[in-house]
Amino acid sequence: MPPLGPLRRAPRRRPLQALAGLLLALPALLAPPSLARAEGREVLTIGISQYPASLHPNIESMVAKSYILGFVRRPLTAWDPDWRLVCLLCEELPTLANGLARQESTPDGRPGLRLRLSLRQGLRWGDGQPITAEDLRFAWAAGREPATGFGPAEFYRQAYELLVIDERSIELRLDRITFAFASMGDFQPLPRHLEEPIWQADPRLYRSRSLYERDPTHPGLWSGPWRVAAVQPGSAITLERNPLWSGPAPHFRQIRIRTVENTTALEAQLLAGQIDMIAGELGLPAEQAAALERRARGRFVLHWRPGLVYEHLSPNLDHPALADRRVRQALLLALDRQRIVAQLFEGRQTVAHGPLHPLDPMHDPAAPRWPFDPARAARLLAEAGWTPGPDGIRRNAAGERLSLELMTTAGNRSREQVQQVIAAQWRAVGVEVRIRNEPPRVLFGETLRQRRHQGFVLFAWVSSPEGVPRSSLSSTEVPSPANGFSGQNYAGFRHAELDAILEELPVTLQAEARRPLWSRLQAIYAEELPALPLWFRQEAHIWPRWLEGVRPTGHLNPSSLWAEEWRAR
């Protein structure tokens, strides 16, 4: 593709590429009819485009894992499809009005909170053991130990004391009063009777020795409507109905989740009936879903959900060139994001100018923006000491080329196309791009977590409404061996004023008082560019016409948290 030539929605395939695509799709084309139809619609087969690096609920953050775990366990609280905070495992959300939250002073005299949380009656692990306050206490103790590597770690730092009141109730003491104190999505029980001895033996090795890694089909690990019955690493997970689930009985006897990282093959399996639905949380990119909607009109329900899914380019700021914010600013100026969205995604994405979606109540439309301006990009690069060499690639005074690695999740056709466009647009201003992709479980489980990337990684953050991005922006959240690689500030971004805002935002209780803090955060983000904003995604949820009850959320908590409501007509 020429650097300044027109963008193409779908580049023409070479013969070998076409043959590869046919081979990927061949098993699906030869497949039997829909498995759900063949088995009386008691089995639902779902396709997703990534496989989780781990099934441990407290280690690593991946959408693939969150989606799968939504079927087999539940957090204390979650944001529902109507963007309301609700109890899932707890009996009642703590508030100052109902007395379950009380203001108090911490031992060092600061304002703090004491929360009382009670588990619902009748909760049991899949091996019959009751879920108790001791399971919460163990999860809290393990999270408080930095060597364990739980993430995000912010909750465990704030919750400085946990008192077991009775079999189902705890009191939690927090070292600050926050506007979102009732949100406990990062805190969920762990089966103490199985996991605590493993953790006590050596917290540093707990990650690899946990039963979630060594024996994920152990029924005692799971407590949701289904439990993990079989695992094919990298490709499939089978869930079976949990007879000890205490909530509404789920319709489906079995749920099969298949990972197909090549989205062309994922679509082919849907059309051939090898899978019944594609999860919007990790499914087809917008332009591929739109084309499918036109071709297969009437065969499926295709539900578009705009949401808090922030696609961006995350740098490694230890890279000498990227440490200079002028280079980051120039690289964003060199990207024609509006054109990419229009021609690659049929205009279905919303160009992002920062980390807050326009739907978020704290979004500031007056925050600074970086429009497409390659001439200004060239001037900034020259100011930063990068001048064009004889081959057009810029070099610094030492003769080093401005060459950057660009990574994303292998097999995602949409992101791979975006990579090619980014490479061409940056090449036009004298920046060389080396594309190197990895499977999601490697990219998120190792490369990003240990900050091994040598340039940018293209991926998305998913957030909750007015979610404070402390874990991804605070200087205390940079992953390192010292914190068990538990932080999510993969860029290594450090900014004293922003750190102060991230600490002040949660403890500012009045929404209008938070607004100027959010505005300043967005202004700093736009100036410093700890990541290069691209767009906010629309999720394309695709399910068969006989399935009902699916409610996409558009935020951090996946639709699978309410999957017991799904039914076959």
Q: In this predicted structure, what is the pLDDT of residue 486?
A: 79
Specify the range with the lowest mean pLDDT, choosing from 115-129, 483-497, 527-541: 483-497
pLDDT at 34 over 60: no
Cα separation, 402 vs 388, in Å, equals 9
The pLDDT of residue 297:
83
In sequence order, the β-bridge partners of residue 43 are 254
The average pLDDT across 268-295 equals: 92
Q: How far apart are CA 508 and CA 323, in angstroms?
A: 32
Which pLDDT band, with edges at 50, 70 and 90, does 4 fall under?
Answer: very low
What pLDDT is stored for residue 509 in this prediction?
A: 85
User: Can you give the pLDDT at residue 408?
Assistant: 95
What is the C-alpha to C-alpha distance for residues 309 and 461, in angstroms, rounded to an integer?
A: 6
What are the angstrom distances between the C-alpha of 135 and each of 189, 224, 372? Answer: 5, 15, 52
Write down the pLDDT at residue 20: 41
Tens-digit pLDDT profile for residues 190-212: 999 999 999 999 999 999 999 99
- Supply the pLDDT for residue 149: 83
pLDDT value of residue 31: 40
Residue 27 pLDDT exceeds 80: no
Band (520; pLDDT cuts 50, 70, 90):
very high
528's CB contacts (< 8 A; 6+ apart) are 325, 328, 493, 495, 498
The DSSP secondary structure of 506-559, one letter per residue, reads HH--SHHHHHHHHHHHHHHHHHH-SSEEEEEEEEEEEEETTEE-----SSSS-G
Residue 456 and residue 493 in contact, taking contact as beta carbons nearer than 8 Å: no
pLDDT of residue 40: 61
pLDDT tens digits for 49-72?
Answer: 999 989 999 987 788 999 999 999
| Arithmetic mean of pLDDT, 326-346 | 95
The full set of domains in the chain, from first to last, is 26-73+224-305+540-568 (3.40.190.10), 80-197 (3.90.76.10), 312-537 (3.10.105.10)
pLDDT average, residue stretch 306-313? 90
Task: Report residue 445's pLDDT band, with 50, 70 and 90 as the boundaries.
Answer: confident
Which of 410-435 are b and which e, b meaning 16 or more Cβ less than 10 Å from the residue's Cβ? bbbbbbbbbbbbbbbbbbbbbbebee
Average pLDDT of the segment spanning 245-252: 94
User: With 80 as the cut, is the pLDDT of residue 460 above it?
Assistant: yes
Global pTM? 0.74
pLDDT, one tens digit per residue, over 74-124 is 999 999 999 899 999 999 999 999 999 999 999 999 999 999 999 999 999
**Cβ atoms of residues 203 and 195 within 8 Å:** no
Q: How confident is the model at residue 15, as a pLDDT?
A: 37
What digits encode the pLDDT tens for the residues 171-183?
A: 999 998 888 899 9
Q: For all residues of the chain together, what is the average pLDDT?
A: 90
Whether 213 has a pLDDT exceeding 50, the answer reads yes
Distance CA 190, CA 138 (A): 7
For the ranges 3-12, 81-90, 373-382, the lowest mean pLDDT is seen at 3-12
